[in-house]
Structure 1
């Protein structure tokens, strides 16, 4: 049983606006959803010993708590440092967020002032992420297609809903743009998990290209863009896809950076480790919703990721 969706699963269709007279009902629902989430968190933490006794299978009860703790420790201890190997046995049985979040924080802390920040995909929309330096002080806007059931506006963050390919922002508005494991959903079938709107049952392999062009428009010259995507042998899972070398090159070229750097990480039974592009060209993924791609290695989802830093 999976209590929690993959972090960053918020690329979904925005619900139609409710009439003004019904806004209070929506607010009440958000409070109910928040309380339900807290109850699920408590249950998941309580069942962590059971999760361990079962051999820590991905996405089972206790998985969310184990992953959250691993991510927090890796961020706080600066585990994913540039050009440094990952610790032995790092992130065994955990999905790619255990690498992506610490990688991002390492980059942000090294880059100095963040300025005005956009989270394209709302993947950062977790209290344990937003409360850590330097995001806890950031002028941050989170954008996704649908309203969040949990939001942290009281911490000073803004929420915007819309399509990344046609954003409402003015030119050169942001100093820093972050998009963690989101572009692999753009242009694909978001009705499988996120919406009943059949117009969102797309099959555009290169939909991400339009999003990257839009990112270029809204990031100021000299601004920075941090992007991660699952990488390996191309495969379309319907609601997400694996990027191959051609798609990665197209992603970068669509942004047109003045400089860029790509780091690769791979997952094996022994955990996550640094990799070269050549060693992950044939990497695969496990779809936790359909079970497709499951093996005995306990991969949580992608078996390789590309982490890209770009300067506009």
Structure 2
């Protein structure tokens, strides 16, 4: 079990078919745990690599060569990656590549196009990921197929990536010209995971897109908490580029704090695989690294599950603890939403939990989210 207390199985369902989670220990605390098996299932169904090589955009499968060795044809691929230098990798910008391929795979890569990540400099073009998907469509040979995965949920500009939303993804057809009948999309939601980073058991389910409307990147779990799996089929001619005019969408910025488990927190006693903190004496079970907070209104969403008779206060302080900005007593279990208004810039601010007594307790924190009030 993890912080949600769900049973963690060794498989998930894709179109009602059980598929084993990835077990290779690379990036496996993230959405890679389902992306890799979904990709391999797709490639095998398409008889990838038999005859002509397929195109992989983003050098991802190189980290899972042991899985490719189980089917030698899957290694027959051309890898396109603008920045990652490795043997056999073409360091060419996706938007400048002009080959044609019957089969293309792109795992969690297009959301970084035009953003500040992996050598890319942020262009200010929040719709660059959509242009990248249109480019993938154009790179398909007639009748060709592509599989593209992206983080999906609430529309967010994380700085280093754009998390897609339904309204954002609809621009692919409405603005960027990809035929509606060319795209088939399925959605997956992360429900729970063990709270450790080495190949942790997870719980993902296939779901409807509406179930991901409020899903955020990096909260409550590390990296994507929902993904869209986009399957493209070339059904017409290439699509000409359009004038670069931004659409009137509202992007949520990255939260300042998204989880006590993965955000920059100090946790003196640590926590177990179920996300439980021991709390047995006066002191701080956890506290964040220093933050600089601009004047304005902030939202703090919390969820606590406390076993025992410990007495706790959650507080926001600044100036290395010399200035108390906000505090609230925490007892038992429950969820809450707080608004904190700051009338000046606060430096060296920290969100921390203090235990007042010596009662032996255990506590989980399924949600600890701190962000600017939109």
- Range class of TM-score, shorter chain: 0.5 to 0.7
1:264 aligned partner: 187
2:16 aligned partner: 83
Matches of 2:13 and 2:181, distance apart in 1: 25
Q: Which has the higher helix share?
A: 1
1:48-197 matched pairs, under 5 angstroms: 80-84=13-17, 94-114=29-49, 115-128=52-65, 131-134=68-71, 136-148=73-85, 151=86, 153=87, 158-167=88-97, 169-170=98-99, 173-190=100-117, 194-195=118-119
CA contact (8 A) 1:174 1:219 kept: yes
Distance 1:213 1:131, change over 3 A: same
CA contact (8 A) 1:95 1:300 kept: yes
Distance 1:137 1:123, change over 3 A: closer
Distance 1:83 1:135, change over 3 A: farther
Moved more, 238-247 or 127-136: 127-136
Aligned residues: 211
CA contact (8 A) 1:80 1:102 kept: no
Gaps of 5+ in 2: 4-8, 194-202, 235-374
CA contact (8 A) 1:189 1:203 kept: no
Larger radius of gyration: 2
TM score, norm. by length of structure 2: 0.50
TM score, norm. by length of structure 1: 0.59
2:215 aligned partner: 283
Greater relative contact order (Cα < 8 A, sep 6+): 1
2:228 aligned partner: 306
Alpha-carbon deviation of 1:256? Answer: 3.5
CA contact (8 A) 1:265 1:275 kept: yes
Gaps of 5+ in 1: 1-54, 57-69, 287-292
Q: Which has the higher strand share?
A: 2
CA contact (8 A) 1:86 1:273 kept: no
Matches of 1:137 and 1:103, distance apart in 2: 14
